[in-house]
């Protein structure tokens, strides 16, 4: 029995060493690629740039959006900026006190979203979608619970259906 065990161990060692072979390139058959041919480069022009347009060196500061007109959900300020679905994806701070997470994962007619630490209607948020210049916030059943519109880069304002103010920022 002991001899069989030694023979089996020796056979395993021989087979495992047989699989370890050294492979190398045959230096005689290897040839380096030929060098690339130089290409002509157009000449570089120099000169003075024209002065920047406008009277200030800095762009104008963003303006604060007016509150939602008439307090109606779905209404937005006249200065609402264009918004894309892709620009909304990610984490947002809501009213400086809770978080909203927006994804591109489909959920009903919108995309999956949710909140953490929020109060009021926003606790029921389950999806969202972009319609025109507005972002519509929906509950888990697909009913609109509020909307926001873009007021500046990474800033949105709006309200819930019951009039709770919503301010999103990053």
CATH number of the structural domain spanning residue 135: 2.40.128.10
- Asked, for residue 87, whether it belongs to a domain, the answer is yes
Task: Kindly report each contact of residues 12-15 with a partner whose C-beta sits within 8 Å and lies 24 or more positions away, as own/partner.
Answer: none
Q: What is the pTM of this model?
A: 0.54
Please, how many CA atoms are within 13 Å of residue 40, restricted to the half-sphere of its CB?
2
Q: How far is the CA of 141 from the CAs of 133, 138, 162, in angstroms?
A: 23, 8, 17
Output the six-digit token pair for 100: 């909203």
Q: Which domain holds residue 138?
A: 73-169
- Asked, for residue 140, whether it belongs to a domain, the answer is yes
Q: What local confidence, expressed as pLDDT, does residue 135 receive?
A: 94
Q: How far is the CA of 50 from the CAs of 44, 47, 53, 94, 107, in angstroms?
A: 18, 10, 9, 44, 51
- Asked, for residue 81, whether it belongs to a domain, the answer is yes
Q: Which residues lie across from 166 on neighbouring strands?
A: 158
Please, how many CA atoms are within 13 Å of residue 101, restricted to the half-sphere of its CB?
6
Residuewise pLDDT in 10s, the chain (170 residues): 667 777 778 777 776 666 655 555 556 666 777 888 887 877 777 788 777 665 555 556 554 443 343 344 445 556 788 898 898 999 999 999 999 999 998 877 789 999 999 988 899 999 999 999 999 999 988 999 999 999 988 999 999 999 989 999 99
Q: What local confidence, expressed as pLDDT, does residue 107 receive?
A: 79
138: nearest Cα among 73, 68, 93, 71: 73
What's the total number of domains in the chain? 1
């Amino acid at each position: 029995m002991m001899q069989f065990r030694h023979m089996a161990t020796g056979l395993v060692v021989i087979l495992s060493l047989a699989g370890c072979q050294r492979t190398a390139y045959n230096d005689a058959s290897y040839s380096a690629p030929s060098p690339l041919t130089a290409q002509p480069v157009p000449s570089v022009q120099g000169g003075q740039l024209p002065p920047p347009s406008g009277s200030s060196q800095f762009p104008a500061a963003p303006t604060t959006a007016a509150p939602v007109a008439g307090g109606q959900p779905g209404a937005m300020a006249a200065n609402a900026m264009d918004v894309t679905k892709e620009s909304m994806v990610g984490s947002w701070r809501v009213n400086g006190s809770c978080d909203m997470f927006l994804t591109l994962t489909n959920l009903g007619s919108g995309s999956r979203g949710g909140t953490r630490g929020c109060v009021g209607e926003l606790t029921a948020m389950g999806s969202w979608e972009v319609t025109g210049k507005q972002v519509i916030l929906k509950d888990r059943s697909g009913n609109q619970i509020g909307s926001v519109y873009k007021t500046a880069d990474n800033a949105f304002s709006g309200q819930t259906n019951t009039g709770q103010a919503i301010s999103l920022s990053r």
